[in-house]
């Protein structure tokens, strides 16, 4: 049984695109950084107890400290032992990650093979995640070198008037990060959160203060005003999914309200061309747009025109994900990417689900042929160049980590994804057999069509369930970490040693290197040339001109013989295994491979 996936399929569906995807995005290896947890490069700027004001749970904290970077994750610190438990204090924790820490580790990322960086929100905000912006025109003070002076700067500005905006030390350090990234030929994009802001957002604060007389009353959907004659605060407004910490920006006539759009336009110009000289080299290379499906497409088309005007080679990726989470239905993203007028790509979680169903699940596992069919269906929905630019994401700040997914199979992706959601969810790290499954998943991510995304720490073997467990402090070789022995519900668990898994890091580095050195993987054609439901094997061909690579997967638990006919290839007599640099023997025009259970190989014709 054979099936072929060709790039003309998307072109037949969509025809010629109006806009082209930036070439660099088709060859990208992305690395996603959650700044507060990546690296503390400057302890002098660490958060203080005062910086918690405005963040959940809104209780006044009187006994709080920055959490130790290397501590047992679930262990409560002395100031957390108050009966409220881990999941209360987990949202209050700060570890001190900052921009200097990212700059210090750019060479590490370059050695790993990363070509593009995606930063979770970096704008001023009271929370650890920064999706509740206080403002869009300044970087979080505690990510920079001088929080106190920075606060004085923006307190003396008019946030509605760009002519009054200055550059704080945190802003300047971010511009240095952009510069240092570009020196290494690395692109950088940041999270744009324009569906909602935070309770401390300057315009929302004005509405709370001045009520119906506020200049920004039309920026938000106010349901009910406070009655000053009562002791109760009746003020009600629309929040994202009803979350009051995240007031939604108001939509009018199928887009965002006019003055909101004007403000966001100024934000786009500030970060994409900071010195406003018409040369975007000093600015970010694009945006990852949060909950993009909840913001009108009419606005995104205008946003797109702004970014292309500043930098025609800029990249926009939208978070277009759950249409119906409860029933495990993801959005069909073609509406956002079909003509290039909205986004270049989306975060491709839709590819992750069948990968997990095939490579990871046990009881709900799909067959090889079903897997091929699912991948074909996904690929057929994208234009050719957009397909190459998809951010193929296995894990993120919104999901459990892959190292924990392989420990907890047979679930819908992003469901029952932590011990807080499912009491028998295992919090341990994966064993040797589970890591074999994990490597098959990562290998397919790296060799399939699209741009692979590495969530910070995945390459070190980090594990953890959904929020907040997937946001642990990054593992570094220069730190000694406590063993994980604690459990959030005081259930007995195995002791897990915590350290950088050097073998796993080398696996990631080598696979990424193979991808980066072979254009056929980055932008070549893609075919499933062989699969067998009984043996549970797959063979993928990646081809560009005369360059041919064959990648074989044995998804079974037992040894399998995989035979591949090579006579149709121009250079069919000599093949090499790229990972181990082994010469492959050809007999009668066939390659006969013996793959161990959960084994794989990457072949290239010479």
Say which CATH number the domain at 594 has.
Answer: 2.60.40.1180
In a domain, 29, yes or no: no
What pLDDT shows up at residue 571? 67
Q: 167: which 2 tokens?
A: 């550059």
Neighbours of 72 (CB within 10 A): 16
Kindly report the backbone phi and psi dihedral angles of residue 251, in degrees, each rounded to the nearest multiple of 5, phi listed first: -100, 135
**Tokens 């999901």, residue located:** 399
In a domain, 574, yes or no: yes
What pLDDT shows up at residue 587? 85
Which among 200, 204, 236 is positioned nearest to 218, based on CA atoms? 204
Give SS3 for 109.
helix
Q: Rounded to whole angstroms, how far apart are CA atoms 242 and 223?
A: 12
What pLDDT shows up at residue 15? 45
Domain count, the chain: 1
b/e for 334-350, b at 16 or more Cβ within 10 A? bebbbbbebbbbbbbbb
**Angle CA(549)–CA(555)–CA(557) in degrees, nearest 5?**
135
Domain that holds residue 554: 518-605
Q: How many residues would you count in the chain?
A: 606
Q: Between the CA atoms of 493, 498, 504 and 508, what dihedral angle is there, to the nearest 10 degrees?
A: 110
Q: DSSP letter string over 189-239?
A: EEEE--SB--TT-HHHHHHHHHGGG-TTGGGB-EEE---TTSSS---EE-B
In a domain, 572, yes or no: yes
Neighbours of 309 (CB within 10 A): 13
3-state secondary structure 457-474: CHHHCCCCCCCCHHHCCC
Q: 213: which 2 tokens?
A: 């007389």
**Tokens 């309200």, residue located:** 257
Q: Rounded to whole angstroms, how far apart are CA atoms 549 and 531?
A: 16
C-alpha of 46 from chain center: 25
Element (H, E) at 255: strand 255-256
CB 306 within 8 A of CB 266: no
Kindly report the backbone phi and psi dihedral angles of residue 189, in degrees, each rounded to the nearest multiple of 5, phi listed first: -125, 160
In angstroms, the Cα distances linking 38 to 70, 95, 158, 498 are 12, 9, 32, 16
Q: Rounded to whole angstroms, how far apart are CA atoms 255 and 258?
A: 8
Q: Rounded to whole angstroms, how far apart are CA atoms 190 and 119?
A: 5
In angstroms, the Cα distances linking 111 to 33, 105, 115, 509, 512 are 16, 10, 10, 8, 10
In a domain, 595, yes or no: yes
In a domain, 558, yes or no: yes
Q: Rounded to whole angstroms, how far apart are CA atoms 213 and 317?
A: 37
> Is the Cα dihedral 334, 13, 384, 314 positive or negative?
negative
In a domain, 361, yes or no: no
β-pair partners for 532: 537
**Angle CA(222)–CA(228)–CA(231) in degrees, nearest 5?**
105
Q: What does the pLDDT look like over 309-366, one tens digit per residue?
A: 999 999 999 999 999 999 999 999 999 998 888 999 999 999 999 999 999 999 999 9
Kindly report the backbone phi and psi dihedral angles of residue 225, in degrees, each rounded to the nearest multiple of 5, phi listed first: -90, 155
Q: Rounded to whole angstroms, how far apart are CA atoms 606 and 405?
A: 37
Taking the CA atoms of the chain, what radius of gyration do you get in angstroms?
25
CB 132 within 8 A of CB 198: yes
What pLDDT shows up at residue 13? 38
Pairing of β 547-554 and β 560-565: unpaired
Which parts of 320-410 fold into alpha helices (H)? 334-337, 349-359, 368-379, 384-389, 402-405
Residue ranges, the chain, pLDDT below 70? 1-18, 571
Greatest CA separation found in the chain?
92
In a domain, 65, yes or no: no
Q: DSSP letter string over 325-350?
A: GGGTEE--THHHHSSSSS-SEEB-HH
Give SS3 for 487.
coil
What pLDDT shows up at residue 342? 95
In a domain, 332, yes or no: no
Q: 571: which 2 tokens?
A: 């250079």
Q: 179: which 2 tokens?
A: 């510069």
Beta strands in 51-148 (DSSP E): 116-119
What pLDDT shows up at residue 5? 40
């Amino acid at each position: 049984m054979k099936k072929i996936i060709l790039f003309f399929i998307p072109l037949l569906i969509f025809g010629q695109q109006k806009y082209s995807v930036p070439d660099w995005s088709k060859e990208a290896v992305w690395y996603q950084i959650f700044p507060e947890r990546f690296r503390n490069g400057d302890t002098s700027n660490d958060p203080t107890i005062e910086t918690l004001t405005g963040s959940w749970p809104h209780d006044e904290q009187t006994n709080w400290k920055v959490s130790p970077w290397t501590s047992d994750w679930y262990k409560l610190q002395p100031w957390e032992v108050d009966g409220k438990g881990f999941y209360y204090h987990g949202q209050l924790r700060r570890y001190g990650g900052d921009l200097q820490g990212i700059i210090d580790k750019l060479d590490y990322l370059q050695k790993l093979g990363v070509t593009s960086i995606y930063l979770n929100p970096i704008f001023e905000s009271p929370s650890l995640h920064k999706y509740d912006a206080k403002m869009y025109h300044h970087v979080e003070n505690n990510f920079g070198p001088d929080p106190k002076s920075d606060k004085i700067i923006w307190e003396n500005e008019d946030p509605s008037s760009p002519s009054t905006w200055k550059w704080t030390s945190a802003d300047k350090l971010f511009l240095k990060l952009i510069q240092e990234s570009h020196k290494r030929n690395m692109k950088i994009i940041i999270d744009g959160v324009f569906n909602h802001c935070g309770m401390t957002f300057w315009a929302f604060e004005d509405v709370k203060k001045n009520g119906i007389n506020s200049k920004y009353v039309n920026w938000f959907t106010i349901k009910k005003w406070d009655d000053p004659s009562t002791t109760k605060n009746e003020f009600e407004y629309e929040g994202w999914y009803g979350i009051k910490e995240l007031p939604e920006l108001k939509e009018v006539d199928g887009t965002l309200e006019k003055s909101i759009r004007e403000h966001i336009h100024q934000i786009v110009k500030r970060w994409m061309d900071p010195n406003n000289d018409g040369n975007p080299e000093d600015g970010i290379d694009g945006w990852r747009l949060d909950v993009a499906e909840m913001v009108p497409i009419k606005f995104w088309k205008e946003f797109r025109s702004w970014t292309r005007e500043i930098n025609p080679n800029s990249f926009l990726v939208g978070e277009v994900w759950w249409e119906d989470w409860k029933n495990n239905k993801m959005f069909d993203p073609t509406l956002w990417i079909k003509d290039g007028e909205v986004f270049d790509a989306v975060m491709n979680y839709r590819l992750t689900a069948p990968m997990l169903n095939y490579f990871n699940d046990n009881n709900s596992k799909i067959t090889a042929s079903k897997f091929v069919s699912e991948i074909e269906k996904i690929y057929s929905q994208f234009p050719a160049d957009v397909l190459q630019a998809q951010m193929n994401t296995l894990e993120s700040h919104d999901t459990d980590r892959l190292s924990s997914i392989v420990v907890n199979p047979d679930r819908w992706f992003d469901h029952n994804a932590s011990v807080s959601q499912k009491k028998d969810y295992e919090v341990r790290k994966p064993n040797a057999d589970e890591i074999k499954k994990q490597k098959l998943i990562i290998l397919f991510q790296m060799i399939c069509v699209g741009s692979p995304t590495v969530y910070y720490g995945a390459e070190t073997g980090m594990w953890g369930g959904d929020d907040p467990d997937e946001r642990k402090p990054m593992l570094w070789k220069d730190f000694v970490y406590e063993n994980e022995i604690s459990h959030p519900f005081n259930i007995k668990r195995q002791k897990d040693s915590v350290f950088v898994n050097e073998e796993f890091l080398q696996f990631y580095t080598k696979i990424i290197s193979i991808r980066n050195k072979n254009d056929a993987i980055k932008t070549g054609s893609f075919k499933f040339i062989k699969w067998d439901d009984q043996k549970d094997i797959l063979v993928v061909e990646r081809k560009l001109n005369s360059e041919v690579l064959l990648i074989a997967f044995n998804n079974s638990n037992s040894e399998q013989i995989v035979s591949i006919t090579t006579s149709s290839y121009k250079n069919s007599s000599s093949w090499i295994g790229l990972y181990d640099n082994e010469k492959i023997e050809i007999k009668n025009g066939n390659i006969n491979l013996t793959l161990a259970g959960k084994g794989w190989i990457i072949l290239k014709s010479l």
